[in-house]
Amino acid sequence: MTKVLIIGYVWPEPNSSAAGSRMMQLIEFFQQQNWQVSFASPAAESKHCFPFESIGVKKQNIQLNSDCFDTFIESLKPDIVLFDRFIMEEQFAWRVEKICPNALRLLETVDLHCLREARHQALKNKRAFNRQDLFSEIAQREIASILRCDLSLLISGYEIKLLTETFKIDPALLLHLPFMVENLSLENVSNWPTYQQRQHFISIGNFRHAPNWDAVLYLKQTLWPLIHKQLPQAEMHIYGAYPPPKATQLHNHEQKFYVLGWAESAEQVMKKARICLAPLRFGAGLKGKLLDAMQFGTPSITTEVGAEGMHNELAWNGVITDKPEEYADAAVKLYSSKLEWGKAQANGTQLVNTLYNKAQHSKILLEKIMRISKDLQEHRLNNFTGAMLRHHNLKSTQYMAQWIEAKNKLEDLN
């Protein structure tokens, strides 16, 4: 039986973040091949993390800079190792290569961190994002990690293009793998609450993710006053895991701006809302909240960054604009027009069924894994840059980790 080890940056929280949902989609894919899945992470478990015991995934707590990981992976002998974000590849890849050199090394990027951070810095500096912003230290680390792995999973086609054209990455090392969900059937659509049965606006997103927090502030300070002025009876409902005090303090009954925190079911709250607002001013990857909106029949209004990589040339299930006045006017118009709302909802259904087909993307992923696994040594020979980076970068990482490990042991003795 093929054994898969996932080394997670955090324990997945599918009800809290798109990254958590994405990880559960990958785990489901592995299990559908009848592969044995183990999930290990150095992170502390949270109250919202997924109960792996319910689906037969083996859990393992691991430590940074400790040879106990070597003992664990030597006992497991995985055929495939998936690193969840480049930070985990930096920490553990040299140990994986030392103990299991023939294991296929996959990297789940989640989103391109260097792109998200570059856009964030440009926004902080109140200027337009430009190509030069990308060439940062975090980009050097992230691109090096991609080159060291046998295959990296990219959720956004925009990011594939960025990696191949700007960073000159060999396309053979990359796979475009968006969210993988079931198609929406006529039965699904017919069971959605109608336009008349829905009311108010919703915005949802984990508060620990910087783009989401910025979007909430932008809504509160700029967009909602414009919308509320035209729709005084409508309410703005803000949901998201881990709201800090600075977020809950934005709750204002008079302004009908409600910060409601954790939602047990995104589906339940999304289906009650008439419009989803996602005014993201920076970020990367694909936005789970916008796919949720499509899946639950809720038209959305977002920005160019929010919709990036999510619709190709197909019509959006609502409106895309970066201008505050246009954004507010579009929200009011879509909220008030049953006809326009219905058209937007239909666009969302087409997007889900055309671009996020689980069966189609699962087939592509399996074929790619099997093809590389069959000729793994040849695949690696064609990636000399990756081999060079593994030799130099991982040696330095290894020596640093061993130094920290020895230092910790010495402190324990004292």
Residue whose pair of structure tokens reads 């990027």 in the numeric block: 109
What amino acid is encoded at 175 in this protein?
A: L
Q: Are 27 and 37 in contact (CB under 8 A)?
A: yes
CATH of domain 186-355: 3.40.50.2000
Where does the pLDDT of residue 407 fall: very low under 50, low under 70, confident under 90, or very high at 90 and above? Answer: low
Residue whose pair of structure tokens reads 């039986």 in the numeric block: 1
Structure tokens that stand for 44 in this block: 């502390």
Residue whose pair of structure tokens reads 């118009």 in the numeric block: 333
Decide if pLDDT at 28 tops 90. yes
Task: Give the pLDDT confidence score for residue 267 in this predicted structure.
Answer: 94
Mean pLDDT for 307-331 is 97
> Cα–Cα distance between 110 and 107 in angstroms, integer?
9
Where does the pLDDT of residue 251 fall: very low under 50, low under 70, confident under 90, or very high at 90 and above? Answer: very high
> Cα–Cα distance between 141 and 86 in angstroms, integer?
8
Q: What is the dihedral of CA 383, 389, 391, 393, to 10 degrees?
A: -160
The full set of domain ranges for the chain reads 3-180+358-413, 186-355
Task: Give the pLDDT confidence score for residue 131 in this predicted structure.
Answer: 83
Q: What is the pTM of this model?
A: 0.92
Q: Which CATH number fits domain 3-180+358-413: 3.20.20.70, 3.90.950.20, 3.40.50.2000, 3.40.50.720?
A: 3.40.50.2000
How many angstroms from the chain centroid is the CA of residue 62? 23
* pLDDT tens readout for residues 74-131: 999 999 999 999 999 999 999 999 999 999 999 999 999 999 999 999 999 999 888 8
Task: Give the pLDDT confidence score for residue 391 in this predicted structure.
Answer: 80
Mean pLDDT for 11-30 is 95
Are both 3-180+358-413 and 186-355 of the same fold?
yes
* Orientation angle between helical segments 68-76 and 86-99, nearest 10 degrees: 70
Structure tokens that stand for 278 in this block: 């996602």
> Cα–Cα distance between 376 and 394 in angstroms, integer?
20
More confident residue, 132 or 257: 257
Mean pLDDT for 12-16 is 92
Q: Are 127 and 133 in contact (CB under 8 A)?
A: no
Structure tokens that stand for 406 in this block: 């020895």
Percent of the chain with pLDDT over 70: 95
Where does the pLDDT of residue 402 fall: very low under 50, low under 70, confident under 90, or very high at 90 and above? Answer: low
**Which of 256, 263, 272 is closest to 224 using CA atoms?**
256
Task: Give the pLDDT confidence score for residue 47 in this predicted structure.
Answer: 87
